[in-house]
Chains A and B, each alone.
Chain A
Amino acid sequence: MNQAAVTSNLDSEMELLRFTTAGSVDDGKSTLIGRLMYDTKTIFEDQLEAVERVSRNRGDGHVDLALLTDGLRAEREQGITIDVAYRYFATPKRKFIIADTPGHIQYTRNMVTGASTANLAIILVDARKGVVEQTCRHSFIASLLRIQHVVVCVNKMDLVEWSQEVFDRIVKDYKDFASRLDIPQMTFIPISALLGDNVVEKSTNMPWYQGSTLLYNLESVYIGSDANHVDARFPVQWVIRPHSQEWHDFRGYSGRVAGGVFKPGDEVVALPSGFEAKIKTVQTADGQVEEAFHPMSVTITLDRELISAVAICLVKARNQPHVSQEVDCMLCWFSEKKPLTQGAKYIVRHTTREVKAVVRELQYKVDVNTLHKEEGVSELKLNEIGRVHLRVSAPLFYDSYRRNRITGSLILVDPFTNETVAAGMIR
C-alpha cells in the first residue's frame, strides 16, 4: 500500500464504498478482484510471491491473480459453502468492501444478500459471449435491490482484438434490455482483468475508449445521495427511562435515523398514536447535536410525554409513511427446506419491530432470466422472486423500497425454525 498517501488521509474520515461483483463462471470475477487488490498494492509481497510461484509451477505465462481469492474457489469446488464473502481494500481516496458472491445454486439468494447493503454493482460480461441470461439476472437483482450504480465491465477485451465494435454492440444490447429495468446510473468499461487494462491503469490498447478506469469510477462515483434525506423517519429502538430520582422525568427515544433530518424545535408525530410533540433535544454519546440524519444513532427528547410508547416511529406531520396491516412486496425466497405458500404464517422483521404475518396472495413470480411474469403459481421456492401480499398482525409504518431502503425492507422468519426465509422489498 502506498504508505505516504494512506497516512496523509488518516486524519479524515474516509468514505466507504460497498460493492458487489457478479458474472457467470469464468467471466473473470476472481481475476478482476485479484487485479484490483494487486494494482492497489493491497496484496503484500509474500502473498504475491506465493502466487507467482504457483503460477510458475503450473507453467502459466502470467501471474494468475485469481489465485489470490482462491479460498472461495476451493470451497466452491468441494461444495462446502455457497455464500457471501467480504473482502477489504483501500486506496488513498476511499475504503472498499466487496461482497463477493460465488456459487451457483443459491446465487440469487446470495446476490440479493450482498446487494442489500451495496452502493454499486459490478457486472462482468465476457466480450466473446456478450449479454447472456446471467447478465440479465444480475441486472434484475441490482435493479430490484435498488443499487444506484451499475458498472458493466466488458472483460477479456484482449481476446477480441480490443475491438470497439464488439464493445459498442454489447453496450447497445445491454441498454436495450436494461430499459425494462430501473437502474439510475449505468457505466460501461472495456477491460482486461488478466492484463490490467482499464482496471487501475488506463489501457493503451484501446485509445478509442475515452472513459475512466474501473478504479477511478469506484473512487469517484457519488454516493452521498444514496440515503434518503427528505422523508423524516425515526424508528424507535429503545426508550430510555431512568428510575433514578435525579432523572425521574427523563424520556429519551433512541434509535437510528432512517430518513430525513431531525432538529430541536421540529414538530413531530409519534406513530401509531398520532400524538404530536416538539423535539427538545437531539443527543449522541458525545452530547447534544444541532441535527440528526441517516446514519446517525441518536436519542431524541420531546417537550411532553407520550401517552403510549409502544412501537413508535417519529415522523413529521405533513410527510407520513404508510400505516397499514396490508403489505405488498417483492419477496426473494431463501429457504431450501420449505417453499412459501399461500396462507402460511411467518414473523416479519421490519425496522425495529417484529410482527406476525400471513401470506394472503402470491400474485406472480418473476423468471429472473427473462423478466417474464408467471401468474397462477402456488409456491415460491429457493431463489425464486415473486410478488406477495402479506397481512400483518399490527400496522407497520413503511415506505416503498424505492423511496427508502430502510423503511421499505423486511425479512421473513419461520416461527418454528427461526430461519430467515425471505427478503422483501415493499412496493
Chain B
Amino acid sequence: MHVDTGHNFEETIEFRDRYVRDLDARLVVASVQESIHKGRVVEEKGPNASRNALQTVTLLDAIEEHGFDAAIGGARRDEEKARAKERFFSHRDDFGQWDPKNQRPELWNLFNGRMNPGEHFRVFPLSNWTEMDVWMYIQREKIVLPEIYFSHEREVIRRAGTLLALTDFITVQEGEAVERLRVRFRTIGDATCTGAVESEAWTLEEVIAEVAAGAADGTWNPGG
C-alpha cells in the first residue's frame, strides 16, 4: 500500500509503477486527496502547508477498510532521538493510537503480535539499522533506486534550515531565492517537506563515503 499525499516527486511515482509492474503485484493506493474530497481532513493553508500530518488519517482509514493486521514501515531508531525507544512491533489501539508509556518489552526475537479486533501493528524491521547499514545493504543486494537519491541538479529554496525542492506544490515566499544546486535526497516523502542535502555523490560508493564521513549534513545524529 502507498499512502499518496498527491505531492510527489515524479521520479517516485514512475519508480513505484515500474516496480509494481515488474513484481506483478497489486498496489493499494490510499489517497490523501480523496480524504480531502470526502471531508475526512482539511487541507492546511499558508506557505508551509503540508499534507504530512493529514496522511495519518488516510493511513488509518485504509488500514480499517482493508482490515490490515500490520503496516510495515522503514523507520529507524537512529533517525531521531524520539525513536530511540521505538519497538519492532509497535502496537496501535483501535483508534490507531500509540501509547509510548505502555510499550511491550521486546526480548530476544520473541515478538508479541497479539491484539484485539480493530487494533493493528506498525512493524519496523529496520529499527536497529543505521543509515549506513541501509546503504551497505543496497550495495550488497544491488537494489535499484530512483535517481533522486543521487546527486543531481535541482532548483531549491532554503526554508527553515532545509533545502526544499522547487515543485508545483511550493510557493516561493518573499525574500526566498531560488538556487540551482547539486543535491541528493536521503529519504523521499511528501515533496513539501522532504529536504535535500547538497551533495556531489553520483554513485553508490560516493554516497556511502559521504555517509561514512557524516558530512551529508550537520544534523545527522548518531543515535543521540
Contact = CB atoms under 8 A, between A and B. Distances in A.
Interface in A398-419: 405-406, 409-411, 413, 418-419
Interface in A100-143: 109-110, 112-113, 116-117
A83 B213 contact: no
A170 interface: no
A405 to B, nearest CB: 7
Contact residues of A: prevailing secondary structure: mixed
A81 interface: yes
Interface residues of B, number: 38
A48 B105 CA distance: 32
B224 A68 contact: yes
B128 A86 contact: yes
B182 interface: no
A44 interface: yes
A406 B109 contact: yes
A31 to B, nearest CB: 15
B114 interface: yes
B26 interface: no
A7 B110 CA distance: 34
Nearest to A5: B212
A307 interface: no
Interface stretch (A58-66, A87-95, A174-182, A308-316): A87-95
Contacts of B78: 88
B203 interface: no
Given A81-B101, A89-B223, A90-B132, A71 B109 contact: no
B105 A1 contact: no
A3 B213 contact: yes
B73 interface: no
Interface string A383-427: 000000000000000000000011001110100001110010000
B108 A117 contact: yes
A411 B110 contact: yes
B208 interface: yes
Interface in A346-381: 347, 349-350
Interface of B: 77-78, 81, 84-85, 91, 100-101, 103-110, 112, 114-116, 128, 130, 132-133, 136, 139, 208-209, 212-214, 218-224
Interface of A: 1, 3, 6-7, 10, 37, 42-47, 68-69, 71-72, 80-81, 83-90, 95, 97-98, 109-110, 112-113, 116-117, 256, 334, 347, 349-350, 405-406, 409-411, 413, 418-420, 423
